[in-house]
Structure 1
Amino acid sequence: MNRLCAFYDLIRRSRSAHFWAWCGVIIALQIGAPARAEVRQLGIDIPVYWYADASDTLTLNAFLSLPEEALKTAPLIPSFGYSTEAYWLRTSLPAALFAGEQRWLQLGPSFVDRLTVFYRPYGSDSPWRQKEFGDHASARDNDLDYRESVLILPPPPTAAGYEMVFRLQSSSTLILLATLSSPQEFVRSATLDT
């Protein structure tokens, strides 16, 4: 409160030109401040393609070999209501989203039974990295000690970025909330949430 009163006292006592000069300095500092890293939401900002596996027998390779026509586009956040089917989702994260830095992929919601994430550099023949999340996962492969699941992705080795596949299965509502952000933006957002 004292700082606010001191600010108003400064305005009252200072000459008009002096006051406007200080306002200009403050505005210039705000404009010149580095912009916050963008937050990208899968399904809204990044296209996601999905397939419902009614038989629950599909493997990663079988999903990847499906024709493009068999996949549907998620127009918004991928949400499928209550279903006993397993859902496979595919997306790519171009290197431009990383700006040469690591990105944190927050995955949720926390009540999903099983969420398996496969990823590798886009178009490479390298083996898929696999992470398990969810209430019924045998091991929680969280890269961060946080209440939500977080996957830390290093900057991609090529400009093509990463290709990612998600396998989602749950006895409750099926939804994939996946947010890609810089570590700084993640911490800022997590601080506001608590």
Structure 2
Amino acid sequence: MHVRAAIESAHPARLAVDVEVAPVAVVLGGGVASPVPPARFMPDLGRAADRVWFAAQLFHAGKVERIVLSGGVDSRLGSLSEAESMRIFIRDLGVPDAAIHLESTSINTRQNAVHVAHLLNDWGVDRLLLVTSALHMPRAKRQFEAQGLIVFPAATDHEAVDTVWWDIRRLLPDADSLDGSGRAIKEWIGLWVGK
């Protein structure tokens, strides 16, 4: 928990009304898996699906006019790209098709930044709200800024929210804490190697 809190503290939770205005919000994949008929007809909303919900809130709050959903195909998660799977969800949240744009070829954060930067350059846009998990935000923000973009973080999926610091159960190992520590270590390494 402490490792995640250290990373997430740079990008605290904010309400959509408190976020900056920008021409576009970019939502990074990682929270919505593809439908896999006949076993699953709808996208599977994972622990990081909050980022799609938050992007819809930003749109409805008038903070952005367009939303770019970024993420390619992960064959372990289905046949649709993450961007296409997120589009199904964000449509259900009331965002119209005209405001939704897909970047569906990237398979990592660096590629998200490169491919989205090309799209934004075509639109003449250099500012964006970056919507991803607070844990992932430092690494993602660095990648997008490396493309010459002005990035306003719109972090979500905050994990380090435990308000009870002393509880005997915290002394026992649990799978969620181990998983969270593993993801935090991945982000530290990603910052170090630049991916």
TM-score by length of 1: 0.25
More helix per residue: 2
TM-score (norm. length: structure 2): 0.25
Q: Write 1 or 2 for the structure with the bigger share of strand.
A: 1
Larger Rg: 1
